[in-house]
Amino acid sequence: MDKNNVLKNKNFDIKNIKVIQAPLAGISDIVYRNHIRHHSKSCLLSTEMLSSEALKNVPNPKIADFKQVEYPLSFQIVGHKPDLMVNAAKLLKERASVIDINCGCPVNKVVKSNDGSGLMKTPELAYEIAKAVKSAVDIPMSVKFRLGWSQENKNFIEFGKLMQKAGADFVTLHGRCRSDLYSGISDWRAIGELKKELDIPVFANGDIKTVEDAIKCLEITKADGVSIGRGLMGDFTLASRIEHYLLTGRIIEEPNLEEKIRMLLCHIEDEIELRGEINGIKFMRKFYGFYISKVKNASKYRQVLVQLETFDEVKQTLDGILCLSLGN
């Protein structure tokens, strides 16, 4: 294996982690993770989910690239075949601080083959996979799951206990069912119920968008830490600001619009370096709404931004938005 595919620092202890950057397919690429790491030295970064089927044919895909500075870094795998999941975990273990098993993804193309949250319908199979992955790697293994397949079939307590029995070193619970997709709100009280039942650390996930949300979520759930997805999409400082509060009891204000636009421009530049201008600008269209969410007329501006095709056009438009927002 290429030396660059070995994560040098293997000294990882989940007890030191308070914030996990949640895996986001099509979002949490190497650029995204490195920007978060720039602000937080200690949060646990996560790759997007990596398909165990795809890894069978392409064992060293570009999507699994990483930088040493990303330590601690979790690699998430998705699939429903124990042998392929073990193969994926073995392929990735040298570069990972943690191997995370995806039992939460709700999208049709994933659950139709019983992957992601589809595994919550077959807890015995999820158990077999988790146990086999744990025995195949000498690093921590974790599982991310939801409350259950549907409101009528919530099995997160039983599921969490099974994952613990399978050897999971920690779990992350998103307080929604598969049938909710992303509607409604994450049920933090349910996450608190799981926390009471398990001996391993439990991380609370869903709808944490501010430091205040994290404080409230931790109060309600008594979880060991929080896992943040969309909250980081327009503000790379959120993980570090939560960690700062937990360490000092002091809240650092969220970046203002000027700072967020500066952050966005750096993000775009790095994506362009990775993907080229055409694809980099296309990729970034998913982020604009998050970065400018607090601006008056945000959705109108977003509609303009997503039509643009070059860095210069985006930069000029963002400068204009900033001037208008500051009343210049």
Give the binding site for ligand FMN (CB under 6 A).
22-27, 48-49, 76, 102, 104-105, 144, 174, 205-208, 228-231
- Kindly tell me which of 71 and 188 has the beta carbon lying closer to ligand FMN: 188
- Kindly tell me which of 216 and 296 has the beta carbon lying closer to ligand FMN: 216
Shortest Cβ 188–ligand FMN spacing (Å) = 11
Shortest Cβ 319–ligand FMN spacing (Å) = 28
C-alpha span between 80 and 192 (Å, rounded): 28
Shortest Cβ 323–ligand FMN spacing (Å) = 31
- Kindly tell me which of 112 and 262 has the beta carbon lying closer to ligand FMN: 112
Amino acid 92 reads L
- Kindly tell me which of 103 and 139 has the beta carbon lying closer to ligand FMN: 103
- Kindly tell me which of 32 and 325 has the beta carbon lying closer to ligand FMN: 32
What's the token pair of residue 296? Answer: 């008056």
- Give residues with Cβ within 8 angstroms of 69, minimum separation 6: 34, 37
Shortest Cβ 243–ligand FMN spacing (Å) = 16
C-alpha span between 324 and 296 (Å, rounded): 10
Find the Cα–Cα–Cα–Cα dihedral 162, 164, 167, 173, rounded to 10°.
100
DSSP state of 285: T
- Kindly tell me which of 46 and 87 has the beta carbon lying closer to ligand FMN: 46
Q: Is 43 a catalytic residue?
A: no
Report how far Cα 226 is from the mean position of its chain's Cα atoms: 11
Shortest Cβ 324–ligand FMN spacing (Å) = 29
Neighbour-count burial for 260-293, b at 16+ CB within 10 Å, e otherwise: bbebbbebbebbbeebeeeebbebbeebbbbbbe
- Give residues with Cβ within 8 angstroms of 224, minimum separation 6: 14, 18, 170, 195, 201, 202, 203
Task: Indicate which residue of 43, 105, 177, 217 is catalytic.
Answer: 105
C-alpha span between 130 and 167 (Å, rounded): 7
Shortest Cβ 93–ligand FMN spacing (Å) = 19
Sheet containing 202-205: give its strands across.
Answer: 19-21, 225-228, 202-205, 170-174, 141-146, 98-103, 73-78, 45-51
User: What single string gives the DSSP state of each residue in 124-153?
Assistant: HHHHHHHHHHHHH-SS-EEEEEESBSSGGG
In the bound complex, which residue of the shown chain has the CB atom lying closest to ligand FMN?
229
Neighbours of 31 (CB within 10 A): 20
Q: What positions carry a catalytic annotation? A: 105
